[in-house]
Amino acid sequence: MNILHLDSAITGEASVSRKLTAEIVARLLRADPQASVTYRDLNEGVPAIDTAWFNAVRLAPEDPSPEQQALIDVSNAYLKDVQDADVLVIGLPIYNFTLTAQLKNWLDQIARAGVSFRYTETGPEGLLKGKRAIIAYTSAGTPIGSEIDHASGYLRHILGFLGITDVEFVAADRLAMDREAGLARAQEALDRLAA
Protein backbone atom coordinates (compact mmCIF):
# COMPACT_ATOMS: atom_id res chain seq x y z
CA MET A 1 0.00 0.00 0.00
CA ASN A 2 1.22 3.48 -0.92
CA ILE A 3 0.02 6.33 1.30
CA LEU A 4 0.08 9.99 0.26
CA HIS A 5 0.04 12.18 3.40
CA LEU A 6 -0.82 15.85 2.84
CA ASP A 7 -0.88 18.63 5.43
CA SER A 8 -1.67 22.28 4.80
CA ALA A 9 -2.29 23.88 8.21
CA ILE A 10 -0.42 27.10 8.94
CA THR A 11 -0.44 26.55 12.72
CA GLY A 12 2.56 24.22 12.99
CA GLU A 13 2.78 22.10 16.14
CA ALA A 14 -0.56 23.47 17.39
CA SER A 15 -2.41 22.08 14.36
CA VAL A 16 -5.14 19.57 15.17
CA SER A 17 -5.42 18.52 11.52
CA ARG A 18 -1.70 17.65 11.47
CA LYS A 19 -2.14 15.53 14.61
CA LEU A 20 -5.13 13.77 13.07
CA THR A 21 -3.42 13.03 9.75
CA ALA A 22 -0.40 11.67 11.64
CA GLU A 23 -2.69 9.41 13.69
CA ILE A 24 -4.52 8.19 10.58
CA VAL A 25 -1.22 7.36 8.87
CA ALA A 26 0.03 5.61 12.02
CA ARG A 27 -3.10 3.43 12.09
CA LEU A 28 -2.68 2.56 8.41
CA LEU A 29 0.96 1.61 9.04
CA ARG A 30 0.01 -0.56 12.02
CA ALA A 31 -2.39 -2.43 9.76
CA ASP A 32 0.19 -2.67 6.96
CA PRO A 33 3.76 -2.20 8.23
CA GLN A 34 5.09 -2.63 4.69
CA ALA A 35 3.18 0.39 3.42
CA SER A 36 5.17 3.33 2.05
CA VAL A 37 4.42 6.96 2.85
CA THR A 38 4.99 10.00 0.69
CA TYR A 39 4.64 13.18 2.74
CA ARG A 40 4.04 16.68 1.46
CA ASP A 41 3.62 19.72 3.65
CA LEU A 42 1.68 21.99 1.33
CA ASN A 43 2.23 24.87 3.74
CA GLU A 44 5.79 25.01 2.41
CA GLY A 45 4.26 26.43 -0.77
CA VAL A 46 2.35 25.15 -3.77
CA PRO A 47 2.52 27.37 -6.83
CA ALA A 48 -0.80 28.79 -7.94
CA ILE A 49 -1.74 28.13 -11.53
CA ASP A 50 -1.55 31.17 -13.79
CA THR A 51 -1.12 32.08 -17.45
CA ALA A 52 2.46 30.78 -17.54
CA TRP A 53 1.23 27.46 -16.07
CA PHE A 54 -1.60 27.30 -18.61
CA ASN A 55 0.79 27.89 -21.49
CA ALA A 56 3.25 25.28 -20.22
CA VAL A 57 1.10 22.55 -18.69
CA ARG A 58 -2.30 22.82 -20.30
CA LEU A 59 -1.16 23.77 -23.81
CA ALA A 60 1.80 21.33 -23.58
CA PRO A 61 4.18 22.82 -26.16
CA GLU A 62 6.31 20.32 -28.06
CA ASP A 63 9.51 22.16 -27.17
CA PRO A 64 8.95 23.82 -23.77
CA SER A 65 11.35 26.49 -22.57
CA PRO A 66 13.36 25.75 -19.41
CA GLU A 67 10.91 27.91 -17.43
CA GLN A 68 7.96 26.02 -18.87
CA GLN A 69 9.61 22.67 -18.19
CA ALA A 70 10.05 23.65 -14.55
CA LEU A 71 6.30 24.34 -14.26
CA ILE A 72 5.51 21.04 -15.99
CA ASP A 73 7.85 19.13 -13.67
CA VAL A 74 6.22 20.56 -10.52
CA SER A 75 2.71 19.72 -11.70
CA ASN A 76 3.77 16.26 -12.85
CA ALA A 77 5.38 15.54 -9.47
CA TYR A 78 2.18 16.40 -7.58
CA LEU A 79 0.14 14.30 -10.01
CA LYS A 80 2.52 11.32 -9.81
CA ASP A 81 2.16 11.34 -6.01
CA VAL A 82 -1.57 10.78 -6.46
CA GLN A 83 -1.26 8.31 -9.32
CA ASP A 84 1.11 6.18 -7.22
CA ALA A 85 -1.04 6.34 -4.07
CA ASP A 86 -3.56 3.79 -2.89
CA VAL A 87 -4.69 5.96 0.03
CA LEU A 88 -4.66 9.75 0.36
CA VAL A 89 -4.65 11.19 3.89
CA ILE A 90 -5.48 14.88 3.61
CA GLY A 91 -5.49 17.49 6.35
CA LEU A 92 -8.40 19.89 5.82
CA PRO A 93 -8.22 22.77 8.30
CA ILE A 94 -10.99 25.27 7.72
CA TYR A 95 -9.95 28.90 7.27
CA ASN A 96 -12.68 31.45 6.56
CA PHE A 97 -15.25 28.70 5.91
CA THR A 98 -13.24 26.88 3.25
CA LEU A 99 -10.05 24.96 2.51
CA THR A 100 -6.57 26.45 2.65
CA ALA A 101 -5.18 28.27 -0.38
CA GLN A 102 -2.30 25.77 -0.42
CA LEU A 103 -4.68 22.81 -0.70
CA LYS A 104 -6.66 24.56 -3.44
CA ASN A 105 -3.42 25.25 -5.33
CA TRP A 106 -2.51 21.55 -5.05
CA LEU A 107 -5.93 20.53 -6.38
CA ASP A 108 -5.50 22.96 -9.30
CA GLN A 109 -2.09 21.42 -10.04
CA ILE A 110 -3.49 17.86 -10.26
CA ALA A 111 -6.83 18.56 -11.98
CA ARG A 112 -5.62 18.20 -15.56
CA ALA A 113 -7.88 17.47 -18.50
CA GLY A 114 -6.81 14.34 -20.34
CA VAL A 115 -4.54 13.26 -17.48
CA SER A 116 -6.54 13.09 -14.22
CA PHE A 117 -9.97 13.49 -15.85
CA ARG A 118 -11.44 13.54 -19.32
CA TYR A 119 -14.62 14.63 -20.98
CA THR A 120 -16.66 11.93 -22.73
CA GLU A 121 -19.95 11.86 -24.63
CA THR A 122 -21.68 10.97 -21.36
CA GLY A 123 -19.91 13.62 -19.27
CA PRO A 124 -16.67 13.90 -17.31
CA GLU A 125 -14.79 10.80 -16.19
CA GLY A 126 -12.20 10.76 -13.41
CA LEU A 127 -8.99 8.92 -14.27
CA LEU A 128 -7.61 8.49 -10.72
CA LYS A 129 -9.89 5.59 -9.81
CA GLY A 130 -9.42 2.86 -7.24
CA LYS A 131 -8.08 5.08 -4.47
CA ARG A 132 -9.29 5.84 -0.96
CA ALA A 133 -9.19 9.29 0.66
CA ILE A 134 -9.35 9.94 4.40
CA ILE A 135 -9.85 13.60 5.24
CA ALA A 136 -8.98 15.14 8.62
CA TYR A 137 -11.45 18.05 8.85
CA THR A 138 -10.81 20.58 11.61
CA SER A 139 -12.47 23.89 12.40
CA ALA A 140 -12.74 26.43 15.16
CA GLY A 141 -16.42 27.10 14.56
CA THR A 142 -17.62 25.68 11.24
CA PRO A 143 -19.68 22.50 11.68
CA ILE A 144 -18.87 19.87 9.05
CA GLY A 145 -21.65 19.55 6.50
CA SER A 146 -23.33 22.78 7.55
CA GLU A 147 -24.45 25.53 5.20
CA ILE A 148 -21.35 27.54 6.11
CA ASP A 149 -18.96 24.63 5.42
CA HIS A 150 -17.68 25.40 1.93
CA ALA A 151 -14.84 22.89 2.13
CA SER A 152 -15.91 19.30 2.81
CA GLY A 153 -18.51 19.11 0.03
CA TYR A 154 -16.16 20.76 -2.43
CA LEU A 155 -13.28 18.43 -1.57
CA ARG A 156 -15.53 15.36 -1.84
CA HIS A 157 -16.81 16.66 -5.20
CA ILE A 158 -13.43 17.47 -6.76
CA LEU A 159 -11.93 14.17 -5.62
CA GLY A 160 -14.93 12.36 -7.11
CA PHE A 161 -14.54 14.36 -10.31
CA LEU A 162 -10.99 12.99 -10.49
CA GLY A 163 -12.25 9.44 -9.88
CA ILE A 164 -11.64 9.16 -6.11
CA THR A 165 -15.07 8.30 -4.75
CA ASP A 166 -14.14 6.37 -1.58
CA VAL A 167 -13.91 9.42 0.71
CA GLU A 168 -14.17 9.38 4.52
CA PHE A 169 -14.00 12.25 6.99
CA VAL A 170 -12.54 12.36 10.48
CA ALA A 171 -13.91 15.63 11.84
CA ALA A 172 -12.81 17.65 14.85
CA ASP A 173 -15.09 20.61 14.28
CA ARG A 174 -16.28 23.54 16.42
CA LEU A 175 -13.10 23.31 18.52
CA ALA A 176 -13.36 26.92 19.71
CA MET A 177 -16.82 26.24 21.09
CA ASP A 178 -16.20 22.90 22.80
CA ARG A 179 -12.71 21.54 22.20
CA GLU A 180 -13.19 18.34 24.19
CA ALA A 181 -16.40 17.45 22.35
CA GLY A 182 -14.80 18.16 18.97
CA LEU A 183 -11.79 16.00 19.77
CA ALA A 184 -14.08 13.26 21.08
CA ARG A 185 -16.02 13.25 17.80
CA ALA A 186 -12.75 12.90 15.91
CA GLN A 187 -11.66 10.03 18.15
CA GLU A 188 -14.94 8.22 17.50
CA ALA A 189 -14.45 8.65 13.75
CA LEU A 190 -10.88 7.38 14.05
CA ASP A 191 -12.09 4.31 15.89
CA ARG A 192 -14.60 3.60 13.12
CA LEU A 193 -11.97 3.76 10.38
CA ALA A 194 -11.25 0.46 8.74
CA ALA A 195 -7.53 0.01 8.32
**Residues annotated as binding site for FMN?**
15-17
CA distance 115 to 26: 31
Provide the 10 A C-beta neighbour count for residue 86.
15
Where is the binding site, in residues? 15-17
Helix (H) or strand (E) holding 159, with range, is helix 152-161
Residue type, 20: L
44: which DSSP letter? Answer: G
CA distance 3 to 133: 10
